[in-house]
Chain A
Amino acid sequence: MTEQPMVRFDNVSKRYGALTVLDGLNLEIARGEKVSIIGPSGSGKTTVLRMLMTLETINDGVIWVEGQPLTHMERNGKLVPADLAHIRKIRAKIGMVFQSFNLFPHMTAMQNCIEAPITVLGMKRADAEARAAELLDMVGLSEKKDHYPSQLSGGQQQRVAIARACAMRPKIMLFDEVTSALDPELVGEVLEVIRKLGREHDLTMLMVTHQMGFAKEFSDRVCFFHAGKICEQGPPAELFGAPKNERTRQFLHAVLEAG
């Protein structure tokens, strides 16, 4: 049996009223693959991540994770919309880091990292803390474990958010413009952590980003979105070096021009 793709979008559409955000998306992501999504704002690229995280419902199609439906479940051989228990079971494989960090402000860095392992995975507090300590060390914030988010810089908050997501041991990690809200001098430290994560962990990563340099260096594949469709995709060297599509060329020209 050939290996199932980690994630498969099967003809997925998303509409808000008359506005079609994603139009019949087909996308497969292999185990361990690093995929970057680029494109102009309003092209539906963030919606891809939000649907996979089940923050948005879908109007058509099915999303599959490791060969199991996420948005649906099988009943009598047919796919019916998934109930919450099924969604939670499959969703456990996915973690997400947000543009605006979304740390819990009333909890310390450590508490942020142990909340879900204790309440969802049922880990013992001591075990959860040991694991969180390792992760905070990985993101270089061992000394900040008892700090509250308001006492941390944006870059530090985002690194805690990455540690928090990793604490749930996801197989797929979603990064939604994770450096867009950061001051320029703080972008590097967050990207460094993501690089490290990619090297040291067997994670499938899907990221929406405006950091073209990072997308080029880090990803196995880059997808250029335009008007709710994948306009062009390929290895970064090809897509950045010799874009075939006119829209891709225009977009890259505009973005690289702006620096």
Chain B
Amino acid sequence: MIWDWAFAFEILPVLARAAIVSIEATLIGFALAASLGLVLAVVRIAVPWTGWTISVLVELIRSTPLLIQIFFLYFVFPKFGVVLDAFTAGVLAIGIHYAAYCSEVYRAGFDNIHRGQWEASIALNLSSWTTFRDIIIPQAIPPIVPALGNYLVALFKETPLLSAIAVMELMQTAKIIGSDTFRYTEPMTLVGLFFLAMSLVSAVLIRSLERLLNRRTMR
């Protein structure tokens, strides 16, 4: 038989521990991406002279493979005295990579805010910080939750790239099990199923968040 149930159950606890690392990497990476992306999008509007620099930066990050960025942070940064452990370097690379994408999503969200909202904020003499915090961001976020959610799932599915710098996440663990036992069927299948399950769960969560936000704003 190709599929060995006993072996599958035997490796399950090991994989489950590795899954936690994958989830940690996803959550920390996405928190970084979502917040850094927001900062980039806000600064681009609030401090106009940074616009060109940020555009170039975002384009640079989006136009090079994530794997190269991970390698860069892990192997090249130490040459400049910045030594990061594999998990930190990997999560940082993922977070920055997706921040570039998220900043474009936020930008689209800001562009959709009617000009009158900015003008009313000026007429009321709100500071630009207050304008973003109280007026623009609360209106811009709900419509872009689905787009941000897509990037959360995409980011999650890219965490196996961390296996390239030996972070003990799911993929790396499955590879080690495979090379130790010469059985790849069970570990790879289980890893695939795990990603499938988690992606479906996040999709449901994002949709309910979307509904909640719509209910709050569409009164």
Q: Which residues of A contact B (CB under 8 A)?
A: 53-55, 88, 91-92, 94-96, 98, 100-106, 115-116, 119-120, 148, 150-151, 164-165, 168
Contacts and interface: CB of A to CB of B under 8 A. Distances in A.
B154 interface: no
Given A100-B116, A106-B139, A168 B219 contact: no
A249 B147 CA distance: 57
B122 A55 contact: yes
A119 B120 contact: no
Instruction: Give me the 6 closest cross-chain CB pairs, A-B, nearest first.
Output: A102-B116, A116-B124, A102-B120, A96-B123, A119-B130, A148-B219
A7 B67 CA distance: 61
B125 A53 contact: no
Contact of A119 (B114, B134, B138, B217): B134
Looking at chain B's contact residues, is the secondary structure mostly helix, strand, loop, or mixed?
A: helix
27 contacts: A54-B122, A55-B123, A88-B127, A91-B122, A91-B125, A95-B123, A96-B123, A98-B119, A98-B120, A100-B116, A101-B116, A102-B114, A102-B116, A102-B119, A103-B120, A104-B139, A105-B139, A106-B138, A106-B217, A115-B134, A115-B135, A116-B124, A116-B125, A119-B127, A120-B125, A150-B219, A165-B123
B126 interface: yes
Contacts of B135: 104, 115
B119 A55 contact: yes
Nearest to B120: A102
A54 B135 CA distance: 19
Contacts of A150: 218-219
A88 B119 contact: no
Interface string B203-219: 00000000000001111
Given A91-B125, A115-B134, A120-B125, 14 more contacts: A54-B122, A95-B123, A98-B116, A98-B119, A98-B120, A100-B116, A106-B138, A106-B139, A115-B126, A116-B124, A116-B125, A150-B218, A150-B219, A165-B123
